[in-house]
Amino acid sequence: MSETSVQTSDPTEEYDWLDEVQSDTALAWVREHTERTERELHDAQFHTTVDRIREVLDSPDRIPMVTKRGEHYYNFWKDAAHRLGQWRRTTWESYRTDNPDWEILLDLDELAVKEGQDWHFAGAQLLRPAPGEPYRQALVRLSPDGGDQVAVREFDLENQIFVPEGFQLPVAKTSASWLDADTLLVASATNPLDTTRSTYARTVRSLTRGAELRDAPVVFEVDAEHVLAGVQVDSTPGFERTIFTDVLDFYNSRTYLQIAGKNIAVDVPTDVNVFLHRQWFLFAPRTDWQHAGNTYPAGSLIMTTVDKFLETGTIDRVVFTPQSNSSLQGMDFTANYLLLTLLTDVRSEVHVLDLHSNSEPQRLTLDDPLSSVSVSAVDDEDESCADEIWMTSTGFTTPTILSRGPVGDQLTPVKSSPARFSADDLEVSQHFAISADGTRIPYFQVSPRDLVLDGQNPVLMDGYGGFQHSMTPGYSPALGRGWLERSTADGRGASYVLANIRGGGEYGPRWHQAALQANRHRAYEDFAAIAEDLVRRQVTSREHLAATGRSNGGLLMGNMITGYPQLFGAISCGVPLLDMRRYTRLAAGHSWIAEYGDPEIPEQWKYVRTFSPLHRIFDEPQHPDSYPASLIWTTTTDDRVGPSQARKLAAAMMDRGITNVRYHEPQDGGHAGSTDNESTARMLATSYEFLWRQIR
């Protein structure tokens, strides 16, 4: 291909009409192909799969994960009787019983009947009360369709009603924080002036009770080319402050503290993540940071006090330094300890650091090295449990356990999920494939213990490879019932493979940055290398190998379809990015330029085009019969990626005579792909059924 043709030729423009999300013509095309897919797939076996998946999603003995605020433990819950769900709370004494007594704060199904509108709960923020007083006020976020846009309403926790004439913000991409009982700081993309090119809020306004948002004064704003303006009000007693963030791109931002009415910039490079907790700053550099004669490596965690750093730039200590095979995944504080969750070769570790000594961190003993573990504080402000932690442990075949206890003591299991699928005959193993450039790529494999290595086993690969997101083991009843319990006519059980490819965060920033922009191909080479390794080890063969991915994982799947069709028998490509020429103009795509590159710049479009599946189908044509069976799916209300990208690749493949492609697009669900347990079960069953019927 000539350089000129790379820059100017674009045969995909004939599909631009599918960008009109709600146009009659586009929706007619969507209905035609969605109905075709459902006629072929949604048979008795499909409905059985839906019922089995929905049963575990609705099961009443799932673990109700909670957040402690004051004396109460808050939870949001969906089941068969509560399609849209209930926001509720209970006490510790009740929570630890087998059947907690829940106080229902907001019943979304009742709200839907009352208002004639399905609202989907998207979280709540409580206003800190005066000392000794109960929590009384909350801001509740409600989505009309499961997308990113939400309405925000003030809620009365004592009377369990929305506050008449209270704060009420219209549906938009909005965040809001309580400044005090009568003032909110609101970042909302409600009009073009207040919206960035990435479709997020450009301004933060100070909204007083009774005023209109459009009239509220702007207290912080960013350039419209930046991603968003963020705000957080820290109401911790003794450390009250307002924090503004100017998000320049997905990996660069500037943090400002409002001090004496002025916004003071935190003087660190824009690719250093800034965290505040009480008197401490924590800094996490994404690249090596040169500061005051010292080098702080990418992926490390640095700690100092706020006052000292603002005055002199002094760093107190480095609390984590990554090794070549380790990375920081999360952190939290109890009253006297810093909790660090790490991965070493994608195996969980938990380290505990005493905040009042210079001693080395202590490592907690974990039971299963192939499980995932996360820890968090229960409530560092409550003296009765100030140094207690939650620990959640989960594995592919190990049901989730929630434990609690003081730091340094034996933790007590509080809740455990019962087994939801038959796993007695399954075993979990970890392997490493060698990618095209010689890099070792880890992956997990879940297979029958008696697996015969003859290349005939049905296998489902799963991957993501972007935005420094780590793929780790976890117990998924839906995966178990929808895939792992399946067997072929000759009795072969299904296998599942989780890929830890570059672009993710399994080995920290370096693992992510290795597949950024012009190096994006490495993520795809890694995934292909794992597929080839499974064939080399005779676990499976092309005819019996399927793959699935969503969002950025959908982009991964699009590149498997168009770049590596010889490796897979079937692919499910969900809520995907696929048209990389136009992704920055669609929905929130402009915010991902730091990840993929800017196709509006000719030099960058040269490499972006090489991983744009919609363009690869034209630039690297294969025989129509050589492509894997492909299910491409999204939702009409996906306001993050947008549905047109999925539509375009499906249409282009069909027009090029590729007969084994199917398309599916339900209306609601947003980027998550579903709004309730029924639609989640149908979404998963559609994918599993399609893949299984192609490779069994």
Q: How does pLDDT run across 266-315, given as a tens digit for each residue?
A: 999 999 999 999 999 999 999 999 999 999 999 999 999 999 999 999 99
Whether pLDDT at 23 is above 60: yes
pLDDT value for 360: 85
> Pick the catalytic residue: 300, 551, 644, 687?
551
> pLDDT grade, residue 640 (50/70/90)?
very high
Which of 343, 356, 406, 336 lies closest to 378 in space, CA to CA?
A: 406
Residue 551 catalytic? yes
Which of 592, 551, 556, 558 lies closest to 574 in space, CA to CA?
A: 551
Alpha carbon separation from 147 to 484, 631, 638, 641, 670 (Å, rounded): 30, 22, 6, 11, 4
- Dihedral sign, Cα of residue 372, residue 377, residue 378, residue 383: positive
Run of H or E residues at 34? helix 24-41
Whether pLDDT at 412 is above 70: yes
Helix (H, G, I), strand (E, B) or coil at 459: strand
Beta strands in 469-511 (DSSP E): 495-499
pLDDT value for 3: 36
Kindly state the tokens that stand for 26: 């586009």
pLDDT value for 9: 65
Whether pLDDT at 636 is above 50: yes
Residue 671 catalytic? yes
- The DSSP call for residue 400 is -
Whether pLDDT at 79 is above 70: yes
pLDDT value for 359: 84
Question: What percent of the chain is modeled with pLDDT above 90?
Answer: 96
420 contacts 59 by C-beta, under 8 angstroms: yes
Q: Which whole number is the average pLDDT over 3-9?
A: 42
- The DSSP call for residue 616 is H
Q: Which whole number is the average pLDDT over 147-152?
A: 97
Whether pLDDT at 8 is above 60: no
Q: What is the mean pLDDT of the chain?
A: 96
What is the C-alpha separation between 289 and 691, in angstroms, rounded? 46
Q: Which whole number is the average pLDDT over 517-541?
A: 98
Phi and psi at 8, nearest 5°, equal -115, -30
Question: What percent of the chain is modeled with pLDDT above 70?
Answer: 99
Please state, as a whole number, how many other Cβ atoms lie within 10 Å of the Cβ of residue 106: 23
What is the C-alpha separation between 394 and 409, in angstroms, rounded? 20
How confident is the model over 40-60, as pLDDT tens digits? 999 999 999 999 999 999 999
> pLDDT grade, residue 259 (50/70/90)?
confident
Q: Which whole number is the average pLDDT over 633-648?
A: 97
Please state, as a whole number, how many other Cβ atoms lie within 10 Å of the Cβ of residue 116: 6
Residues 119, 121, 122: CA angle, nearest 5 degrees: 125
> pLDDT grade, residue 367 (50/70/90)?
confident
How confident is the model over 182-214, as pLDDT tens digits? 999 999 999 999 999 999 999 999 999 999 999
What is the C-alpha separation between 26 and 4, in angstroms, rounded? 32
- The DSSP call for residue 485 is T
> Pick the catalytic residue: 476, 671, 679, 687?
671
What is the C-alpha separation between 82 and 12, in angstroms, rounded? 44
pLDDT value for 169: 98
Whether pLDDT at 536 is above 80: yes
DSSP string, 121-137: EEEEEEPPPSTTPPP-E
